[in-house]
Amino acid sequence: LGKYVITGGFRLEGSIRINGAKNACLPVLAATVLNKGISEIYDVTYLKDVEVMLEILNFLGAVVEREGYYIRIDTSNLSPKEIPEELMRKMRSSIFLMGPLITRFGKVRLSYPGGCDLGPRPIDLHLKGLRMMGANLTEEHGFIEAHCDKLKGCNIHLDFPSVGATENLMMAAALAQGVTVIRNAAKEPEIVDLQNFINNMGGSVTGAGTDTIKVVGVEKLNSVKHTVIPDRIVAGTYMVAAAITGGQVKLKNIILEHVEPIIAKLRESGCVIETNGDSLTVNGPKQIQSIDIIRTLPHPGFPTDMQAPIMALMSIANGTTMLTETIFENRFKHVDELRRMGADIKINGRAAVIKGVKSLTGAAVEAKDLRAGAALVIAGLAAEGTTIVDGAQHIERGYENIDKNLTSLGAHIKKID
């Protein structure tokens, strides 16, 4: 637990390195179950969600050694124990273990996952796909129990390009008998990273990054070395932080293609963004301009995880922004908090109309989920006076040392426990 105390009005200037992505790392860690051997993974960021995944792997019998951002996981001696509810509930991504565990052990029993509060977050697409591959699933008393002899490849058409379901099914298919084709698959960069990880273990996956992914099941997978891709959402968050303070910030270790959707919108808001190989520099304008329309969409559309941060930016823009959240039903928990800081935002269903105000004023606000929390920190950087963002534990699920990084760029932010 803890809070961030921010004094607004300081321009950000300097450079920081972007570390390995949470959303790439979590499925990769789950996939270490598949190789019954050693996985050496580089650029594993220190994040709460990563800790929970390691805790679960450890509970199942994995030997985990960590040195800085390098991690070595030996999954030779796992046992298919029931994962306790208390661990499963700590994080929604615990569901990623379902596919790897069924395919490795032919059985698994786990409790429904918990996770970020973004409205209903069903796992029906995960379960439907696993059933099509031959898993017998029963859902009772808050637990999901699965068993099967060997999963069989098949054609799966996802009703929605769910990131998690695509990843879970790729992992399940890696050791299945025969060929699995996932259509209407999610195309996020994290899915390409998982494909690379599985292939580096000796698997056979093609098509990640497009809407059709083909997995040819193999008999066994081997030990592997892998470097996690940089976090495009963390990068986007610091880009918006630079923009809102009219600052100049250089980000290192970026994959440009992954942040293009964010760059495009920030340029519309008046930022000048220079790119150079694996780095980019954001120059925030004196006055942020509103962006007529922002719609969150599956990749390569504008990411839903950047919706809250860009709303904070638009709240002090010159003009009105119409923002639609098309991915999650209930992802506007930051709106009331931004209003407390003087923002003029109206919500109608999945649409938000943001009328830019001259300035925000510091207030005591609460981070109710991860990205909502990041948005409030960003708002605090630009607000007059002091902003107190409660709920640091949500922010720490996805940002390592956000206070130290922002301080190194010239922000006035302190964490108090």
Interface with ligand UD1 by CB under 6 A: which residues? 23, 26, 93, 120-126, 160, 162-165, 186, 190, 304-305, 327-328
Q: How many angstroms separate the CA atoms of 375 and 367, rounded?
A: 9
Least distance (Å) between residue 186 CB and ligand UD1:
6
Least distance (Å) between residue 92 CB and ligand UD1:
6
Least distance (Å) between residue 153 CB and ligand UD1:
20
Nearer to ligand UD1, 186 or 273 (CB): 186
| Polymer length in residues for the chain | 417
Least distance (Å) between residue 399 CB and ligand UD1:
13
Nearer to ligand UD1, 12 or 135 (CB): 135
Place of tokens 């025969």: 178
Among 350, 298, 342, 303, smallest CA distance to 322 is for 350
Nearer to ligand UD1, 6 or 163 (CB): 163
The amino acid sitting at 208 is A
Token pair of 327 as six digits:
């991915």
Residue 353 sits at φ, ψ, to 5 deg, of -110, 120
From 25, 116, 148, 271, the catalytic residue: 116
Nearer to ligand UD1, 247 or 398 (CB): 398
Q: SS3 of 224, please?
A: strand
Nearer to ligand UD1, 43 or 74 (CB): 43
Least distance (Å) between residue 187 CB and ligand UD1:
10
- The β-bridge relationship of strands 63-67 and 70-74 is antiparallel
Least distance (Å) between residue 50 CB and ligand UD1:
11
Q: How many angstroms separate the CA atoms of 171 and 162, rounded?
A: 14
Biggest CA-to-CA distance, the chain: 63
Q: Where would I find the H helices in 11-160?
A: 22-31, 48-60, 85-88, 98-105, 124-132
Q: How many angstroms separate the CA atoms of 13 and 361, rounded?
A: 22
25 in catalytic set: no
Cβ-closest position to ligand UD1: 164
Please give the DSSP secondary-structure letter assigned to residue 350: T
Least distance (Å) between residue 406 CB and ligand UD1:
21
Nearer to ligand UD1, 190 or 337 (CB): 190
What number of other Cβ atoms are within 10 A of residue 164's Cβ? 24
Q: SS3 of 236, please?
A: helix
User: ∠ at Cα 372 (314, 406), nearest 5°?
Assistant: 80
Nearer to ligand UD1, 8 or 113 (CB): 113
Q: Is the Cα torsion angle 219, 224, 229, 230 positive or negative in sign?
A: positive
Catalytic residue numbers? 116
